[in-house]
Amino acid sequence: MTPRPTLIDCDPGTDDAIALWLALASPELDVRLVTAVGGNVGLAHTLRNARAVVGLAGSAVPVVAGADRALTAPYVDAAHVHGDNGLGGLILPDGPAAMPGVAADAMRAVLREAAPRSVTVIGLGPATNLGLVFATEPALAGRVAEIVLMTGAVGEGNVTPSAEFNAWNDPEALAIVLGCGAPVALATLDVTNQALCTGAEIAALRAAGQGACAAAAARIWEGVKPSRRSGGRGHEQHDACAVAWAVAPGLFVGTPVFVEVDCGPGLGRGRLSVDRWGRRGQAANATLLERLDAPRFFTLLTARLAALP
């Protein structure tokens, strides 16, 4: 197995931290760059958290700061979910210093040097940084094997009745990514809600791993409030689903679809419009992940987290 060159754009965020550790623990991925965007919390926090997560894993992957707000809209955070510092109040040791420069420039530099259709791009936050990459240098989509995004909702949203937070935060950037021409896979709320972390998963992680990353992950899980959507049974591991698709696509059932995102004002902003049956006469531009084998997902996630330092 040859690890695939991988770029990860994120806004840590409790579930981003878990997803980053999964990526860094996965031999299928050669993580070349981690970029931060303002999203779950402000950029100062997401950048520090990304550095801390990478550092705790003993990784030397460069971390670069990106956009602190959406392309056109004012910044709005989700600190009510992730806590003021983004990690539910957990304070991790400071990681390696951020590399100088801007995230979009750093991603473009990696893609320019890559072979055609060779790089996996994983987006775990608002798509602002990725939108800037493909809006300013569209030809770089030809260097991408797949873009995997945790974004959007086909059914009910989590920030409005229609929209998921990442898609709602910067739908204009998401529209650029969906239209860039590279293969796209979407882990929407409809599939990530199936990755429900309960007390049983926390206990299994504590039993499996004694390293600092596994202990921190368990503390993060313990600190996240159970979701109303789950009836208080647990909380969803949204972002780790995007990484899991890149690592073990057999965990999912996906459907080719044509998808657009609503960039207009009002309650529809950020909503995904999904055409499974070709009613629009448009070729599929994404794979919509629809079903997850949750027990196997948590087995993989627990084993990978437990293997970290």
The arithmetic mean of pLDDT across residues 122-147, rounded, is 98
The arithmetic mean of pLDDT across residues 114-126, rounded, is 98
Q: Which long-range contacts (CB under 8 A, 24 or more apart) does 214-219 make?
A: 214/305, 214/306, 214/308, 216/17, 216/56, 216/90, 216/92, 217/17, 217/18, 217/21, 217/305, 219/90
Confidence of residue 95 (pLDDT cuts 50, 70, 90): very high
Quick check: is 238 catalytic? yes
For residue 209, what pLDDT is reported? 87
Reported as a single tens digit per residue, the pLDDT across 259-274 is: 999 999 999 999 999 9
For residue 113, what pLDDT is reported? 98
Do residues 122 and 8 make contact, with C-beta atoms less than 8 angstroms apart?
yes
**E strand or H helix at 295:** helix 294-306
**Residue 109, number of CB atoms within 10 A of its CB:** 12
Phi, psi of 287 (to 5 degrees): -100, 120
Confidence of residue 80 (pLDDT cuts 50, 70, 90): confident
Burial of 230 (0-12, 13-18, 19+ CB in 10 A): middle
Q: Which of 45, 82, 235, 238 is catalytic?
A: 238
For residue 229, what pLDDT is reported? 84
Do residues 262 and 268 make contact, with C-beta atoms less than 8 angstroms apart?
yes
For residue 230, what pLDDT is reported? 84
Confidence of residue 228 (pLDDT cuts 50, 70, 90): confident
Q: Domains along the chain?
A: 4-306 (3.90.245.10)
For residue 231, what pLDDT is reported? 86
Total count of residues recorded for the chain: 309
- The pLDDT > 70 percentage for the chain reads 100
Q: What's the chain's average pLDDT?
A: 96
pLDDT at 296 over 80: yes
pLDDT at 1 over 80: no
* 99, 103, 110, 137, 161 from 165: Cα distances, Å: 28, 21, 28, 26, 11
For residue 145, what pLDDT is reported? 98
